[in-house]
Structure 1
Amino acid sequence: MKKYGVLIFALLLCFTLSACGNSSSNANSKEQEKDMSAAESKSSADKSNNNNEGEQTERKTLEKVGDSLYDSNTGTVTLNSLKDISNKKLTIGDLNLKFIDAKVITVTDISDSFKEDLEQSFGVRPKEFTYAQIRYKTENTGKDDISWRGFRKAVTSEGQQVDLDFNLSLGIPNPSSIDMMPNSKMEENMVWVPVNKGEKSIRLKGEDVLKKDNSKKDFIVYGKEIKIDL
């Protein structure tokens, strides 16, 4: 799964009819409206049937604990827990991080391609894979260009340190290196952390923040860590 993402399907139909003139044209207009209505009803019915037939492959979000779906790129994914962590913030120099939510997800019936990805990253082909998915936003509140390398390490509640570089090979949007202009934001960032199903918390280590102008006194602000409840 080199490129993993969330697919959102939106269909919008808009019909506008206008009629004017004598009674004959009104009759034609009504007939047209009748035909259009029948066509729209058929379209809606076809769409409903297609949605029912392809529900497992088209639905790409896990919103409630216990939700499960099949993704051909990974396997069967199940949401074990979901926590709102919007009260969590981390500041490293001019970089402000605002967290959104934390999901613990288990993948079973793992696809061959995802098994290969996991083997390349961890040296094993597991029967199932559980990870915490942490979403967050970044903002440069300063007047200088800065760069940041995201979250590179995590520590579980049992003290096990985890290398997060595998996010790069899986295509997860945890920055390998981002340059942010002054007073700018990036809304969608995410990091995966391998955990046990019953994991209650992890510690994330944010990397150093560097200013483009290395003559500045505060050219480098060393990274910090934050505890995230799951």
Structure 2
Amino acid sequence: MKKYGVLFFALLLCFILTACGNSSSNANSKEQEKNTTPAENKSGNSNNTAQEEGSKKKLHKVGDSLHDPNTGTVTLNAIKDISNKKLIIGDLKVNFLNAKVITITNLSDAYKAELIENFGGNPKEFTYAQILYKTENTGNDEISWSGFHTAVTGDGQQMDLDFNLSFGNPNPASIDMMSNSKIDNNMVWVPVKKDEKSVRLKADNVLKRDNSKKDFIVYGQEIKIDL
């Protein structure tokens, strides 16, 4: 009889410990859910807010200005529709979209350091023409192209545009295009004066992957862009 009593007591003790363990586990699970869920919601709301704010901060018309903590105060000086401009180099067709003249003042320390690294001096502001374009390979061969790497301003000043690569602009340092393909949202910056009226861009050569073709290389051309 004592043996059955001891066995019953042992089973009862195990049941009590198991129940306590489940209660503790449920409590911990609820506590973790309580701690993580608000953080995830907060993060999601923060991203949504940032996207909403980003969508509002665009330069649509002359005189528009915004503050970018990474660069400074950004102001639109001029904007021009240049969709009538096209450049054809062999199988490559470049369709231009628009050109904006933009000035950045109240430069952030990091952006000023980047300007000094690329252009020297001690800049107080930076004005540039932002030229948007898209490319199309109209042929049946794969081609490569390296964008616009030289410009001449209205007063005849020639400059190298390779700084676009370090600024992260999608003006291709080297790009391969498959046959009958398109690439949108290309962009090149050209440092200019605020009242600049035009710039001349020199496109790089277009090469075919098959170098046995007679038109393996087509030399780059120049185009004038009104600002």
TM-score per shorter chain, which class?
A: 0.7 to 0.9
1:99 and 2:96 aligned: yes
Aligned to 1:119: 116
Deviation at 1:208, TM superposition (A): 0.1
Correspondence for 2:105 among 90, 103, 108: 108
1:142 and 2:139 correspond: yes
**Structure 1 contact 116–125 (Cα < 8 Å) conserved:** no
SS of equivalent to 1:118:
helix
Contact 1:59 1:69 survives alignment (8 Å): no
Equivalent residue number for residue 186 of structure 1: 183
Given candidates 142, 150, 153, the residue that maps to 2:150 is 153
**TM-score under structure 2 length normalisation:** 0.76
Structure 2: distance between partners of 1:153 and 1:95: 18
Q: What SS does the corresponding residue of 1:167 show, helix, strand or coil?
A: helix
Distance of 2:55 and 2:186 partners within structure 1: 23
What is the root-mean-square deviation in Å for CA atoms of aligned residues?
Answer: 1.8
Please list every run of 5 or more consecutive structure 2 residues that lacks an aligned counterpart in the other structure.
1-44
CA separation in 2, counterparts of 1:176 and 1:229? 24
Q: Secondary structure at the match of 1:217?
A: coil
Q: Provide the residue aligned with 1:87 in structure 2.
A: 84
How big is the shift at 1:124? 2.2
Q: What TM-score comes out, normalization by structure 1 length?
A: 0.75
Q: CA deviation at 1:162?
A: 1.2
State percent identity of aligned pairs.
69
Matched, 1:133 2:130: yes
2:218 matched residue in structure 1: 221
**1:75 Cα deviation from its structure 2 partner:** 0.4
Question: What amino acid maps onto 2:202 in structure 1?
Answer: K
Question: Which AA in structure 2 matches 1:145?
Answer: E
Amino acid at match of 1:115: K
1:90 is paired with a residue of what secondary structure?
strand
Cα distance in 1 between the residues matched to 2:107 and 2:143: 39
CA deviations over 1:121-152 (Å, ceiling 9, x no partner): 11123001000000000000000000000000
Provide structure 1 residue ranges, at least 5 long, that are not aligned to the other structure: 1-45
Task: Pick the structure with more helix per residue.
Answer: 2
Which secondary structure does the structure 2 equivalent of 1:144 belong to? coil
Distance 1:58 1:116, change over 3 A: farther
Q: Deviations over 1:44-77 (max 9, x none)?
A: xx99xx79xx96x763320100000000111000
Aligned with 1:162 (options 134, 152, 159): 159
* Equivalent position SS for 1:168: helix
Separation (CA, whole Å) in 2 of partners of 1:138 and 1:223: 14
Counterpart Cα distance in 2 of 1:163 and 1:123: 14
Q: For 1:72 and 1:151, locate their aligned partners in 2 and report how far apart those are by CA, in whole Å.
A: 29
